[in-house]
Amino acid sequence: MVTLDGEYRIAVLHQAAPTPAIGGVLKPVKPGGYKDSSADLAYALHLESQDACTPSIKLITPSSSPDPSKDADWSFGDYKETILEVIEKHGANVLWANTNVHSAHALLDIAKQHPDILMVGQDPRHVDNYDDKAWVNRWLQSHAGLEGTFPQTWIVPRDTPEVLASIPLPVIIKPVRGRGSQGVAYCRTSNELEQRAKKLWETGSRVVIEEFCSGEEVTITVLPPGTYDPPVGVKDKHWALPVVRRFDHTDGIMPYSGGVPVTANSTLVPLEEASVDPEYARLQKRCELVGQALGTLATIRIDARRRGQTASGMDREFALFDTNMKPNITGPGRPGRDDQAALTVLAAGGLGWSYRDLVRNMLRQAVKLRCLL
């Protein structure tokens, strides 16, 4: 964590610049480029700046009088020219990268010119690999404590479709580089699997197929080392927030949060329930090991499902299946946004943190851009 002697002059960045194809696969862009969540967190920062307890925060916005109901008034597109203008003309010294970064992202060039600017976000140099669902799960399983913690997985290239016939059903099929539940499907039959694979092969040369874990689904948020508000304090390693349970799946898959708010199908696992089932604590520990292995600089979210039940009806262990380098960070505060608490916001509520508390604590873990050089 890096602190400033003076004022935090913060500019929030949303996704506007085109994302390059990697290995022939283009990651889908969220409609609006995260302008909605960027406006949510920028508005929370604005409220912090108005609070007499946090006078050291100033928010820089595209509009001189941003309207809480207008997403576009609160954040800047992540073009190099735009970022330089925000720094050199408007005096920003903190960039909140609420966007999908990659190895050609503008922040890497900005770091060369302004290495002492602070950033909240991930290291763009590593995200290309970490966003590759085929690569990252295999790589993570090579780390101590994570062996065997992911579902059995098959990577099927477009030019070997015959491999599909040998894969035991049911399975989950997904794109190599996905976003949320987009392109993810539960396949019970060989025909379903073949049709889904053909559709995904139109946008990439490979597909990821995983064994279907039929049990409880949860999500874990992992934060980087640093100093946090009570009741957390100082953390010298990556650490996990309380567990959030997912429910009301549609055909085996969680629906897209843009269609169904996560507040309608997700809830904290009660602490008394988590305390009597050691699998929750084991899962949190494994997710912390994921954060340490990846060396993440900001918040990540990891999804997991139980492998089903034993013959006696006991819940089996959790399998980790998806690491989200850019977790959604929508939150309440602006008009009409009361039901837009993201999974990470729900998890933070387990510590007694509000959305503003979470945003403030994420800001405190900002790093200097020189760490990207």
pLDDT at 1 over 60: no
Mean pLDDT of the chain: 92
Across 15-29, 63-77, 137-151, least confident range: 15-29
Q: Predicted confidence band at 245 (pLDDT cuts at 50, 70, 90)?
A: very high
**Domains of the chain with CATH codes:** 8-121+368-372 (no CATH), 152-211 (3.30.1490.20)
Quote the pLDDT of residue 209. 95
Task: Tell me the residue type at 70.
Answer: K
Q: How confident is the model at residue 371 (pLDDT cuts 50, 70, 90)?
A: very high
pLDDT for 4 = 57
363/47 Cα distance (integer angstroms): 14
How far apart CA 144 and CA 156 sit, in angstroms, is 27
pLDDT reported for residue 54? 63
Average pLDDT over residues 174-197: 89
pLDDT confidence band for 183 (50 / 70 / 90): confident
Q: What is the mean pLDDT of residues 151-164?
A: 94
Residue 55: what pLDDT?
61
**How confident is residue 18, by pLDDT bands cut at 50, 70 and 90?**
confident
Among 361, 102, 108, residue whose Cα is nearest residue 228: 361
Check whether 2 has a pLDDT greater than 70: no
**Mean pLDDT on 276-293:** 97
pLDDT band (50, 70, 90) for residue 52: low
- For the cut 60, the answer to whether the pLDDT of residue 84 exceeds it is yes
pTM over 0.85? The answer is yes
- Percent of the chain residues past pLDDT 90, beyond the cut: 79
Tell me the pLDDT band of 3, cut-offs 50, 70 and 90: low
Give the pLDDT band (50/70/90) at residue 70.
very high
Q: How do residues 90-135 score in pLDDT, each as one tens digit?
A: 999 999 999 999 999 999 999 999 999 999 999 999 999 998 888 8
**pLDDT band for position 298 (cuts 50, 70, 90):** very high
- Does residue 345 have a pLDDT over 70? yes
Residue with tokens 């700046």: 49
Q: In this predicted structure, which of 178-187, 262-271, 341-350 has the lowest mean pLDDT?
A: 178-187
At residue 343, the pLDDT reads 96
